[in-house]
Structure 1
Amino acid sequence: MSDYRYYFCTDEAGASLGLDLLDRVFEDEGLPVATMEIDEDRKIWEVSIYAPGEPDETLRQRIAACVAADFPDAEIQLETFAETDWIAKSLEGLKPVRAGRFMVHGAHDRSAVRPHDLAIELEAGQAFGTGHHGTTAGCLEMIEIVMRAHPSGPCGVNPVLDLGTGSGVLAIAAAMLGPVQVLATDIDPVATRVARGNVRHNHAAAQVHCVTATGFHSTAFRDAGPFGLIIANILARPLMRMAPDIRRNLAPGGSVILSGILASQRWQVLAAFNGQGMRHVQTLWRNGWVTIHLK
C-alpha cells in the first residue's frame, strides 16, 4: 500500500485561496491540505491534499471540481510515496521544543532536559502533536498561563477536558501542572491508543483518562464534567460548530483554550464563542496561528 498526494501549481495568492477552498470541503474527512513554495525565483507554489492507500480517481475528480471555478487551468497531478513511517522519519531530526516551562523531546534528547523543566517525552506515533507545530506550542504555553493564574492554583480548573487529544501532549501537560483529573478524547482510535501510551510513558495514567469519542455524544463527557478547563486544538470550523457544546460542558467560571486557528480565522472563532456568552481574555500568536483563551 502507498500513500499519495494530489496537487496543483499556482502562485502565493492562489495557494492561499486553494488552501481555503479545499479545506472547506475535505477537512471533515481528515485529509490534510497543505501549501508549499517550490520555486522562489519563479514564485511557484503547490497546493496538495494527502491521502492514505492507493490513488483514488474519484478523489482527483472531486478536487478538480472543487477548484474549477477559481483555477480553470489547474492540472491536478499525482505523486505517490513508498510505504514509510513519515512521522518517525520526521522526528529523527527534530530538536527539543520549549514552550513556557515545558520541554517536549524524544528519548534521544533526554540529556537536554534542565532541572526545572516540565519535560514531556514523546516518540514517533500516528497522532498529531509533537510540540513543534505552532498550535501545540501555543497551547502548552497558554495552559501554563491559565492554570497558574487561577486564584485557587492549578487545582482550581479541575476537571480538565482535552478535546481532540492527538498525541496526548496537552493532557499530560495539564496533569503535570497540578492535581487535576483530565479527560482526553479523540475521534480516531489510533490517536487514543497513541495518547494512552504517551500518558503511561510520562507517568500520568493516574490523572489522565483517554477515550475515543465523536463530538460530545459520549457519556464520558457527562460522567467527567462539567469542566473547569476545556482545551481544544482542532480546526477553526469544527470549533465554531462545537461552540454551543463546549459552552454547555464548561463549569461556571471555567476557561476555554482554543487553537488550530489561522490568524485570519481569529475573528470568526471569537464571534462564534461570543455568541455563546463567552469573552476573550488573551491571544497568543505563533507562526501564523493563534491560541485563544476565553472565559
Structure 2
Amino acid sequence: MPTFTALTTLPGKAQAEALGDALERMEPEPTGIGVFEMEDGSGLWEIGAYFTDAPDEAALALLAAAFDAKPFVVSEVPETDWVAHVRRELAPVKAGRFFVYGSHDADKVPDGTEPLLIEAAMAFGTGHHGTTLGCLLALDSLIEDGFAPRSVADIGCGTAVLAMAAARIWDATILASDIDQVAVDVAEANLKANGLEGRVSCLEAAGFDHPDLQSAAPYDLIFANILKGPLIALAPDLFRHNSDGGFAILSGILNEQADQVVEVYQALGYNLVSRNSIVDWTTLVLRKKA
C-alpha cells in the first residue's frame, strides 16, 4: 500500500504546532504528523503529515494559507521493505578499532577489531551518521592516548552504540540514558545481542535527572550526542557531573554551531582538546580543568 506525504515549512514553533494540530482534524485523517525544527539554522519548522489515502489537496492549500506556511508538497511514496533497503544501503562502518555492522554482514567483521552489532532496523545510532562516527573516532583517540576511565555516562544514548564501545574496552561503571523509553528498550536489546548484558545500565531520563545517574557521578567520560540546543542547556549539569580532569565527547552539532558550543563550555571551565568535522557535523572533545 502506498503512503502519501504532505510537507511544508513556516517560521515559529507555536505556529508550526498549531498547524500540526489542525492537520489532525483533516479528512481523510493523517496516520501520523511530525513537527520539527530544521537543523540548518534558518529558524524554520517543518510540518509533515502521512496518509494511507490521497490527501485532500484543496484542504491542505487552505491550511497552508491560514497559517502563512509555504504550499504543501504532496508526494506518493511506494511501498518499500525499509529494513531490506537499509541492509542494502548501510555498509559496515569502521571507526578506528571499532566495527559497526548488522547481522547480515556478520561474515565481514575483520580480525583485530571491536565489533558492535546494530541491526539495520535501528535507523539511529548505526555509526553511519557523522555524529556517531565522530564520537567513535574521538573515543578511539582517547584509548590510543591511554585514557582509562572509572565511570562513563552516555547521555541521549539512542542505540547505546557509544556505551557499548566503551564497555568493549574498559571495565568501568557505564550508564546509558535516553529521554525516550523506546530508545532505552533498543539499547537493552543491543547490549544483549552484543553479549554485554549487565555491563551497561540503561535508564530513561532527561539529562542527568535520575537518582542512579546522580549517585554514580562524577564521570571521567561523558558522551552527549544530541543537538546544539540541548547541549547548551545541559552544559552546567554536565559540568557538575564530570570529574575534574575528565573528558566530554559532544556531537549532534552542525559545523557552523560548533564555535557557540565551545564558547559555552569553555566559559564553564573546559579546555577544547579536539574538534573533528564529518560532512555537516562536528564532534568536540573537551576536558574539564582539574
State yes or no: 1:189 paired with 2:185: no
What is residue 40 of structure 1 aligned with on the other side?
none
State the TM-score, normalized to the length of structure 2: 0.77
Structure 1 unaligned blocks of 5 or more: 9-17, 37-46
Partners of 1:245 and 1:63 lie apart in 2 by 43
The match for 1:98 among 91, 94, 98 is 94
Partners of 1:238 and 1:287 lie apart in 2 by 21
Shift, 1:53, TM fit: 8.1
Partners of 1:269 and 1:35 lie apart in 2 by 15
Letter in 1 for 2:284: I
Letter in 2 for 1:76: F
Letter in 2 for 1:293: V
Residues 170-210 of structure 1, C-alpha deviations (whole Å, 9 max, x = no match): 11001112212210000000000001000111111232111
Shift, 1:139, TM fit: 0.5
What is residue 264 of structure 1 aligned with on the other side?
256
Tell me the C-alpha RMSD between the 2 structures. Answer: 3.5
What is residue 205 of structure 2 aligned with on the other side?
213
Written as runs of structure 1 = structure 2, the 5 A alignment for 1:91-240 is 91-126=87-122, 128-150=124-146, 153-154=147-148, 157-240=149-232
State the TM-score, normalized to the length of structure 1: 0.76
Partners of 1:83 and 1:223 lie apart in 2 by 48
Q: Percent identity at matched positions?
A: 36
Shift, 1:90, TM fit: 2.3
Range with greater deviation from structure 2 (229-238 or 177-186): 177-186
Shift, 1:86, TM fit: 4.3
Partners of 1:239 and 1:136 lie apart in 2 by 15
Written as runs of structure 1 = structure 2, the 5 A alignment for 1:55-94 is 74-79=70-75, 86=82, 89-94=85-90
Aligned length: 261
Partners of 1:134 and 1:255 lie apart in 2 by 20
Range with greater deviation from structure 2 (173-182 or 261-270): 173-182
Partners of 1:265 and 1:63 lie apart in 2 by 33
Written as runs of structure 1 = structure 2, the 5 A alignment for 1:31-70 is 31=35, 49-50=47-48
Shift, 1:112, TM fit: 1.1
Residues 63-94 of structure 1, C-alpha deviations (whole Å, 9 max, x = no match): 985xx5xxx8x323344757877466423431
What is residue 7 of structure 1 aligned with on the other side?
8
Partners of 1:205 and 1:53 lie apart in 2 by 39
Partners of 1:266 and 1:82 lie apart in 2 by 38
Q: Is the 8 A contact 2:6 2:72 kept in 1?
A: no
Partners of 1:145 and 1:109 lie apart in 2 by 26
Residues 142-194 of structure 1, C-alpha deviations (whole Å, 9 max, x = no match): 011123324xx42xx12100000001111100111221221000000000000
Secondary structure of 1:275's counterpart equals helix
Structure 1 pair 124–280 and aligned structure 2 pair: CA distance change class (3 A):
same
